[in-house]
Amino acid sequence: MSFFSTMPLLLSIFIPAFTMRLFAEEFKTGTMEILATLPLTDSDIVLGKFGTFLAVWLLMVGLTLVHVVLLVFVGPPDLGQVAASLMGLTLLGAFYGSMGLLASVLTRSQVVAFLLGFLFCFAFFLVGESAEFVPGFLGQLLSFLGASNHFDGFLKGVVDTRDVLYYVSGTTLILS
C-alpha cells in the first residue's frame, strides 16, 4: 500500500504540529494552575489530553475510509490489507502523539514543543531507516527501535502482535 508508505515520515512532522499546544498553551496562559486545582490527578489530566488527541486522530483516520469506498467501486481491494494498514496508522499516530504530548509538557513555548516533538518522532523514524546500514547486533537493535520498521508489517496486511505491542507499550511508557 504505497498510499500509507510515507506516513512514518509525514506524521513525524504533522503530529507534533497537532500536539504542540496541548500543554504548552496551558502553561503559557496560566490555565494549568486552574486545571491542577481541579479534583483530578496528573494522570487524569494527561489521559484526558491524550484521549482528546486520540479521538480527533481516529476521526482523521476514519475519513480515509472514503478512499476505501472509492476503491471498492473501481476494483476489489484487499480489505484485510486496508484494515491492517488503518490499524497500523492508528497505532503509529498514537505513538507519535504521545511523544508530541511529552514535548508539550516539557516547555511553555509551542514552537519549542513542536521542535522537540519533531525531534522525538523523527529520531524513531531515522533509527529504523538507518538500521540497514549498521551491521550485526546494533543494526538489529536499531531496526527493532525504529517506528517505521514496525509499520511495514501493517502495510503488507500482517498484524503481528510484536508490532502492536511495540506501539502500545511505547505509547504507554511515554504517557506514564
Q: What is the pLDDT of residue 122?
A: 92
Q: Which of 95, 87, 108 is nearest to 11 (CA)?
A: 95
Q: Which of 82, 86, 111 is nearest to 21 (CA)?
A: 111
Q: Are 85 and 155 in contact (CB under 8 A)?
A: yes
Q: Which of 23, 32, 42, 20 is nearest to 113 (CA)?
A: 20
Q: What is the pLDDT of residue 2?
A: 67
Q: Compute the half-sphere exposure of residue 94: CA atoms within 13 Å on the CB side of its CA.
A: 24
Residues of the chain with pLDDT below 70 are 1-2
Q: What is the pLDDT of residue 108?
A: 85
Q: What is the pLDDT of residue 73?
A: 87
Q: What is the pLDDT of residue 10?
A: 87
Q: What is the pLDDT of residue 55?
A: 95
Q: What is the pLDDT of residue 60?
A: 92
- Rounded Cα gap, residues 51 and 96, in angstroms: 14
